[in-house]
Structure 1
Amino acid sequence: MAREDRERWDARHRAVAAAGAPAVPTPPDALRGREHLLPTAGRALDVACGRGTVAVWLAEHGFGVDAVDVSEPALAAGAALAADRGVGEQVRWWSHDLDEGLPDGCAGPYDVVVCQRFRDPALYPVLAQRLAPGGLLVVTVLSVVGDEGGPFRADAGELLAAFDGLTRLDHTERDGEASLLARRP
C-alpha cells in the first residue's frame, strides 16, 4: 500500500475518533439477520478490521479473533473497544499491509473469516484456504452491479467465481455492493 493510502486511512480513523462517535460491536453486514449461521465458538479472522467493531462482536460471541488492518489508529480504537467490553484478551491486533497478503501469524485454520469493505482478488484464495472444514466465510465488497464502475469495485459474479469451491449460503449483488456467505465443506 502506498504511504499516502496509509496516511489517508489513519487520518480518517483519527477523525472518527475525534468526532467522539461511540464504537458499537456489530456483526458483519452480510451476516445481519443470519447470525444463526455463526459457529458457536472457535477462531475468527477479521481482514481489514478498521476500528474493530466486527472483531469485538465476534469476541463477545466466544471467538478468539485475529484482527488485521494497516491503520494503527484504527487498531488502537479496536483494542480500546475490546478492553472496554471485557474481551481484550480474546483479540490479537495485527498491523499489516494487506497488499502483502496476510501476516504469517494468521495461518488459521479459522471457523469464521470476515472481509468487509476491502477488495483484493489476489487475497481470495488465501481467505478460502484459511477456513477450517465447516468454516464460515463472510465477504462484502463494493460492486459495479447497480453502481458505476471503479478500480475498487467487483465485477458481477466475482465473489461467486472466486469462492466456487465453497458451499454458497447466500449471495447478493445490488446497489453497488456484493456479499457472499459461504461454508467450507
Structure 2
Amino acid sequence: MSEDIGQKWDEKYLSRKDLSGKPADVLTSNLHLLPKQGIALDLACGPGGNAIFLAEHGLDTYAWDISKVALSHLNHTAVNKGLGIKAEYRDVIKNPPETASFDVIVVSNFLDRSIIPDIIAALNPDGLMYYQTFTIERTKKPAPDNPAYKLNPNELLGLLSGLTIRYYREDGDTGTDEEYQGLAMVVAQKCN
C-alpha cells in the first residue's frame, strides 16, 4: 500500500515542471513565533519548501515523505544551499513521529486525522505545530478531489483542542483574498 501511494506521488512530482517548494504561508507569516534553535520536522514534506525554510532559520531539520522523487529533489536543493537537512523516506501514517521528539512540526497540504494525536504527542513541551491545509470550502486548485482530505469548517481547532492556539486563520469562502479561501492555518503550542 505504501509503495502504491509513494509511486502515485512520484508520478505527480515527475509530471511537474517546477519542483521548487515554497514554504507554507502559515510558517512565513508567523516567523516571529519560530524558535531560534531546536529540532524541527517537515512532515509529508513534498519538495521540502518548509524544511529549507526551517533549516535556513537555524533549526536542526528533518523532512519525511513517501515520495522518493520529492526527497531526491530536496536532498539536491539542501546540498546546493549547504543545509544539513535529514530527509527520510517514511510512510508517516504507518510510522508517525515518536513522542516528545520535536520542538517544531510543520504540516502543509496533508491531512490524515488518525495521526493528529501522534503528531501532537511528538511535540516537546512548549513545542509549536504549524499546520496549513485545505477545507471543504476550497473550490479552486490546488486542492484534493477527495473530501476526506479536506477539513470541515473549524475542524482543525477541534483536532488541536489540547494545544494552545497562537494563531488561526480560516477564511472559508468569504473575502476578496481568493488565495486564502478554503484554507485553514494554525500555529498551536504544547504548553506545560
Q: Secondary structure at the match of 2:93?
A: helix
Identify if the C-alpha distance between structure 1 residues 85 and 169 changes in structure 2 by more than 3 Å, giving closer, same or farther. same
Deviation at residue 3 of structure 1 after TM alignment? 4.3
Aligned to 1:93: 87
Aligned to 1:59: 55
**Do the aligned residues in 2 keep the contact of 1:10 with 1:72 (CA within 8 Å)?**
yes
Alignment size in residue pairs: 177
Amino acid in structure 1 at the alignment position of 2:67? S
Give the Cα–Cα distance (whole angstroms) in 1 for the partners of residues 19 and 65 of structure 2.
20
Give the Cα–Cα distance (whole angstroms) in 2 for the partners of residues 65 and 108 of structure 1.
15
Q: Secondary structure at the match of 1:181?
A: strand
Aligned to 2:178: none
Give the Cα–Cα distance (whole angstroms) in 2 for the partners of residues 160 and 172 of structure 1.
10
Deviation at residue 2 of structure 1 after TM alignment? 5.4
Aligned to 2:176: none
Aligned to 2:9: 9
Identify if the C-alpha distance between structure 1 residues 107 and 117 changes in structure 2 by more than 3 Å, giving closer, same or farther. same
Identify if the C-alpha distance between structure 1 residues 66 and 107 changes in structure 2 by more than 3 Å, giving closer, same or farther. farther
Identify if the C-alpha distance between structure 1 residues 107 and 14 changes in structure 2 by more than 3 Å, giving closer, same or farther. farther
Amino acid in structure 1 at the alignment position of 2:93? D
Structure 1 residues without counterparts, runs of 5 or longer: none
**Do the aligned residues in 2 keep the contact of 1:101 with 1:123 (CA within 8 Å)?**
no
Residue by residue, what CA displacement relative to the aligned partner does 1:153-184 show, whole Å, maximum 9, x if unpaired? Answer: 11122211111111101112222221111111
Percent of aligned positions that are identical: 30
Structure 2 residues without counterparts, runs of 5 or longer: 140-144, 173-180
Amino acid in structure 1 at the alignment position of 2:45? C
Amino acid in structure 2 at the alignment position of 1:34? N
**Do the aligned residues in 1 keep the contact of 2:37 with 2:58 (CA within 8 Å)?**
yes
Instruction: Kindly report which structure 2 residues correspond to 1:11-160, keeping only aligned pairs within 5 A, or say none.
Output: 11-16=11-16, 19=17, 21=18, 23=20, 26-87=22-83, 89=84, 91-102=85-96, 107-145=99-137, 147=139, 150-160=147-157
| Structure 1 vs Structure 2 CA RMSD | 2.1
Q: Secondary structure at the match of 1:98?
A: coil
**Do the aligned residues in 2 keep the contact of 1:46 with 1:54 (CA within 8 Å)?**
yes
Which among 149, 174, 185 is matched to residue 179 of structure 1? 185
TM-score, normalised by the number of residues in structure 2: 0.83
Q: Secondary structure at the match of 1:112?
A: strand
Give the Cα–Cα distance (whole angstroms) in 2 for the partners of residues 108 and 81 of structure 1.
28
TM-score, normalised by the number of residues in structure 1: 0.86
Deviation at residue 131 of structure 1 after TM alignment? 1.1
